[in-house]
Amino acid sequence: MSMKVLIVEDNLQNLYLVEFLLKSAGIATIAANNGQLGLELARKEQPALILMDLQMPEMDGYETTRQLKSDPNTCNIPVIGVSSYAMPSSRKAAIDVGMAAYIEKPLIPETFLSQLQPFLP
C-alpha cells in the first residue's frame, strides 16, 4: 500500500488547506472534489487513508463511505470522516457507516496529524 492520503472534499479552500497541512508533514496526497471521483480514485490509487468530507452535494460522505466499504477492493482502506463547520453531523452516524474515526472542524494543526497517525503505515 502506498503512503498516499486521498482527500475527498468539495470545498476548494478546505481542500487546499488539508493538502497543505499534509504536505507540510511530508505526506503525499491525491484529491477528489466529489464522492463519485473519490470512489474511482480509491480503487485506482489504493491510498493508505481517506479523509472524507461528510457534507457534499450529490453523493455525501456517508454514502461514499458505504460504497467504499461494500467494495472488496476498497473496504480495507481506513476512512476518517471530517465534519463541516456549520452543518450538524454526528460521530455515531460516521462510525455506523464504517468510518474508522471522526474529526470535527475547525482542524487544530497540532492535533490533526496525530489523529491521522494511527492509520498511516
Partner 1 sequence: MKILCVEDDEASRYWLETLLKSQRHQVMCAADGRSALQALQQEDYDLIISDIMMPQMDGFDLCYQIKTNPFLSKIPFVFYSAAYTQPGDIEFALQLGADSFLVKPLLPENLLAEIHSVTSKAKLNQTARITMDQHEFLLGHAQRIGQKLEFLNQELHKASQKLQQTEYELSDTKKMLGLLVNHSSDAVLIVDRQGRFLSANSNLNVLLKRPAPISHLAQLLPAERYSELLAMLAADDKTPLDFHEVIIAGDCRIFITALPIHYQDQPALLIMLRNLGTYQQASNQRRLDQHVLKNLSEGVIITNAENRVIAVNPAFTRITGYSETDVIGKTPRILRSGKQKHGFYRHMWSSLLEDGEWQGELWNRRKNGELFPEWLFLSLIRDENNKILFHIGIFNDISVHEEARRHIEHLAHYDPLTDTPNRTLLRYRINEAVQAAEHSRQQIGLLFIDIDRLKNINESLGYPVGDEVIKAVCQRLQSFSRPGDTVGRHSDDEFLMLLNGIAHRNEITQIADSVINAINEPYLIDGREIYISCSIGIALYPEDGLTEATLVKNAGISLYKAKNEGRNHYLFYSPGMNKAAEDRIAMENALRQAITRNELRLVFQPQYRLRDEILTGCEVLVRWTNPELGEVSPSVFIPIAEESGQIILIGEWILRQACLQVRQWIQTGLPAINFAVNISAVQFGKPSLIAQVREILAETKLHPHLLELELTEGLLMRETQHTLETLRTFKKMGIQLSIDDFGTGYSNLAYLNRFSVDKLKIDQSFVRGLPHSANDLAIVQAIIQMAHNLSLTVIAEGVETEAQKELLTTYDCDIGQGYLFAKPLETHQFEAKLKALCQAKSCAIQ
- Residues in contact with partner 1 by CB under 8 A are 12-14, 16-17, 19-21, 24, 84-86, 105-110
**Complex with partner 1: residue 14 or 115, whichever CB lies closer:** 14
As a whole number of angstroms, the distance between CA 49 and CA 47 comes to 5
Q: How far is CA 110 from CA 100, 103, 119, in A?
A: 20, 13, 17
Q: Around Cβ 47, how many Cβ atoms within 10 Å?
A: 22
Identify the residue whose cell numbers are 456549520: 86
- CB–CB of 66/37 below 8 Å? no
CB of 13 to partner 1, least distance (A): 5
What are the φ/ψ torsions at residue 16 (nearest 5 degrees)? -55, -45
**Complex with partner 1: residue 95 or 108, whichever CB lies closer:** 108
CB of 113 to partner 1, least distance (A): 9
CB of 4 to partner 1, least distance (A): 19
**Complex with partner 1: residue 72 or 111, whichever CB lies closer:** 111
CB of 21 to partner 1, least distance (A): 6
Exposed, middle or buried, 69 (CB in 10 Å: 0-12/13-18/19+)? middle
**Complex with partner 1: residue 31 or 39, whichever CB lies closer:** 31
